[in-house]
Amino acid sequence: MKKASVKTEKDLIEEILSGKYRDFYLIYNRKSTDEADNQKNSISYQKAENSRYAVRERLPIAQITLKGFSTNGIISEKHSGFKEDFDVMINDEGLVQYRIDRPKFQKMLQFASQGYFKGVVCLCWDRISRNKGDDTVIRKLMRKGVDFRFVYANYDKTSSGALHMDIDGMFSQHHSRVTSEKVTLTTRNNREKGICTYRAPIGYLNEGKMDHKPFDPMRAPIIKRMFELYDTGDWSLADIARYANEQGFTTVPMRRRRTKEEMLDEDFEMEEIPQVSRPVTENHISRILTNPFYTGKVLNSEGRYIPSISHEALVDEEVFNRVQAVLKKKQTSIHYTEKLDQPLRGIVRCAHCERVYTPYTKKGIQYYNSRCTKDCQNTLKNINFTFLAEKIEGLLSGLYFTDEEIGQMDARIGTDVALLEEKRQKELDQMERKKRKIREDLAYIRSNKLTLLKTGVYTPEGLIEEEDKLNAELADLQSKEQVSDVAMHETMKDVQKLSELVKEVVPYYSFAKPHEKEAIVRIIFSELYLSENTLKYKCKTLSSVSKAVCNLCVTPRRIELRFAG
SS3 (DSSP) at 98: strand
Q: Alpha-carbon Rg of the chain, whole angstroms?
A: 38
110 in Cβ contact with 103 (< 8 Å): no
Q: What is the DSSP letter of 66?
A: B
Mean pLDDT is lowest, of 34-43, 152-161, 373-382, for 34-43
Average pLDDT over the chain, rounded to whole? 80
Nearest 5°: the CA angle 490, 399, 401 is: 60
Q: Is the pLDDT of residue 558 over 60?
A: no
Flag whether pLDDT at 324 surpasses 50.
Answer: yes
pLDDT at 229: 93
> Given this model, what pLDDT does residue 563 score?
31
Lowest mean pLDDT among 91-95, 363-367, 466-470, 495-499: 495-499
Angle between helices 317-330 and 220-231 (to 10 degrees): 60
Higher pLDDT among residues 64 and 496, named by residue = 64
| Strand residues in 12-164 grouped as ranges (E) | 25-31, 74-78, 88-90, 96-98, 119-122, 147-150
- Which is higher by pLDDT, 537 or 492? 537
**485 pLDDT more than 70:** no
pLDDT digits (tens, 9 = 90+) for 387-400: 888 888 887 777 77
Mean pLDDT, residues 256-272 taken together: 74
What confidence tier does 415 reach under pLDDT thresholds 50, 70, 90? low
Assess whether pLDDT exceeds 70 at residue 90: yes
Confidence class of residue 424 from pLDDT cuts 50, 70 and 90? low
Q: How far apart are the first and last CA of the chain?
A: 101
Q: Which pLDDT band, with edges at 50, 70 and 90, does 565 fall under?
A: very low
Q: How far apart are CA 449 and CA 458, in angstroms?
A: 9
* pLDDT (mean) for 113-122: 92
Q: Give the CA angle between residues 308, 314, 316 to the nearest 5°.
A: 90
What span, in angstroms and rounded, lies between the C-alpha atoms of 378 and 367? 17
Task: Look at residue 333 and tell me whether its pLDDT is greater than 60.
Answer: no
**What is the enclosing helix (H) or strand (E) of 367?**
strand 365-369
Of 307, 274, 272, 283, the closest CA to residue 293 belongs to: 307
What single-letter amino acid sits at 317?
E
pLDDT at residue 204 in the model: 94
| pLDDT value of position 561 | 34
pLDDT at 6 exceeding the cut of 90: no
- Confidence class for position 548, pLDDT limits 50, 70, 90: low
C-beta of residue 478 within 8 angstroms of C-beta of residue 438? no
Per-residue pLDDT averaged across 102-130, rounded? Answer: 88
Q: Is the pLDDT of residue 476 over 90?
A: no
Q: Is the pLDDT of residue 4 over 60?
A: no
